[in-house]
């Protein structure tokens, strides 16, 4: 069975600090996808990144970076020089890739508060 | 604006009632997903449709059903409502039916069961 753990329930940082959100997953499949989503206070869900299980390259997008390590089943998300607008709940998710469609499992989310 | 629309925005109803939530995907997207977000259950995947056919099922209760119509809009039907069904229901769409496609989320429908 699939499972996603986000051990950090809430994190508070001061603006301009770097922060890392942890995500640990469990799956028996060898082919799967990992995702990060952002849910700002306004409530909408925003897709941030998708990574497949065969691509362990780290990715950087502006102030955001992701570290995928299959050996530890982790897909951590780092925000560099955090800003108040980064305050949101962040969800990590796992999907097993199947021909007949996908089945998503979300972590419980990490609430990030960036203080001015 | 993701291009995914959901109606209504808010819905208040009583226990035992039935409601229908509607979702229109982005233009060109063939796949629609439904999710439920509640305080106690977190964010849960309910069901996926691709070009009118059911593709994947998650934690969807038997009291809930969904369908995708020929014009690709989708409806989620919730019946015999219970207090615990109060939640935010999101719809998302993607171009294809596989996990490799990016999903775009609608603003959600907030359902309150009293």
Strands (E) located in chain A: 3-5, 10-14, 19-21, 24-26, 32-39, 46-52, 59-61, 64-69, 74-79, 88-98, 101-106, 110-115
In this structure, are residues B23 and B6 in contact, taking their beta carbons and an 8 Å threshold? yes
From B34, B26, B28, select the one nearest B3 (Cα to Cα): B26
What's the pLDDT at B39? 86
Q: Cβ A100–B55 below 8 Å, yes or no? A: yes
What's the pLDDT at B99? 67
Residue B104: its chain A contacts at CB < 8 A? 47
Q: Cβ A44–B107 below 8 Å, yes or no? A: yes
Q: Cβ B57–A100 below 8 Å, yes or no? A: no
What's the pLDDT at B1? 81
pLDDT tens figures, A20-72: 999 999 998 888 899 999 999 989 999 899 998 988 888 888 999 999 999 99
How many other CB atoms sit within 10 Å of the CB of residue B68?
23
Q: Closest CB to B56: pick one of A33, A100, A108.
A: A100
pLDDT tens figures, B66-104: 999 999 999 999 999 999 999 999 999 998 877 667 889
Residue A107 DSSP code: -
Q: Cβ B100–A91 below 8 Å, yes or no? A: no
Residue A45: its chain B contacts at CB < 8 A? 90, 92, 105
- Distance of alpha carbon B90 from alpha carbon B61, whole angstroms: 16
Residue A79 DSSP code: E
Rounded mean pLDDT of chain A?
Answer: 91
Does the pLDDT at position B61 exceed 80? Answer: yes
Q: What percent of chain A has pLDDT over 90?
A: 70
- CB proximity under 8 Å: A 41-70 to B: 43-47, 50, 52
How many other CB atoms sit within 10 Å of the CB of residue B70?
7
Closest chain A residue to B98 measured between Cα atoms?
A101
Does the pLDDT at position A95 exceed 60? Answer: yes
Contacts 24+ apart (CB under 8 A), A62-71: A66/A36, A68/A34
- Distance of alpha carbon B46 from alpha carbon B57, whole angstroms: 6
Q: What percent of chain A has pLDDT over 70?
A: 95
Contacts of A63 (CB under 8 A, 6+ apart): A79, A80, A81, A82, A83
CA distance B94 to chain A (A): 12
Q: Which residues pair with A104 in a beta bridge?
A: A95
Residue A32: its chain B contacts at CB < 8 A? 99
What's the pLDDT at A100? 55
Instruction: Please report, for residues A99, A116, B45, B112, the alpha-carbon distance to residue B109 in angstroms, rounded to integers and kept in the order given.
Output: 30, 32, 15, 10
The structure tokens listed for B44 are 């849960």
Contacts of A42 (CB under 8 A, 6+ apart): none
pLDDT tens figures, B9-57: 999 999 999 999 999 999 999 999 999 999 888 899 999 999 999 988 8
CA distance A46 to chain B (A): 7
From A3, A2, A1, A8, select the one nearest A111 (Cα to Cα): A8
């Amino acid at each position: 069975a699939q499972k996603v753990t986000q051990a950090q329930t809430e994190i508070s940082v001061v603006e301009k600090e770097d922060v890392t959100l942890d995500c640990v997953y469990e799956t028996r499949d060898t082919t799967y996808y990992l995702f990060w989503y952002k849910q700002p206070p306004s409530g909408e869900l925003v897709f941030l990144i998708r990574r497949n299980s065969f691509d362990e390259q780290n990715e950087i997008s502006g102030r955001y970076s992701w570290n995928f390590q299959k050996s530890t089943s982790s897909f951590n998300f780092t925000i560099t020089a955090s800003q108040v607008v980064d305050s949101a709940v962040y969800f990590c998710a796992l999907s097993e890739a199947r021909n007949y469609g996908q089945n998503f499992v979300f972590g419980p989310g990490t609430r990030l508060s960036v203080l001015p | 604006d993701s291009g995914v629309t959901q109606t209504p925005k808010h819905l208040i109803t009583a226990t035992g009632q039935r409601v229908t939530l509607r979702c229109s995907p982005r233009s060109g997207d063939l796949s629609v997903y439904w999710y439920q977000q509640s305080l106690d259950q977190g964010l849960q995947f309910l069901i996926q449709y691709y070009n009118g056919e059911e593709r994947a099922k998650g934690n969807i209760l038997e009291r809930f059903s969904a369908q995708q119509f020929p014009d690709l809009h989708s409806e989620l039907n919730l019946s015999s409502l219970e207090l615990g069904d109060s939640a935010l229901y999101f719809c998302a769409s993607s171009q294809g039916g596989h996990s490799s496609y990016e999903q775009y989320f609608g603003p959600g429908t907030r359902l309150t069961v009293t």
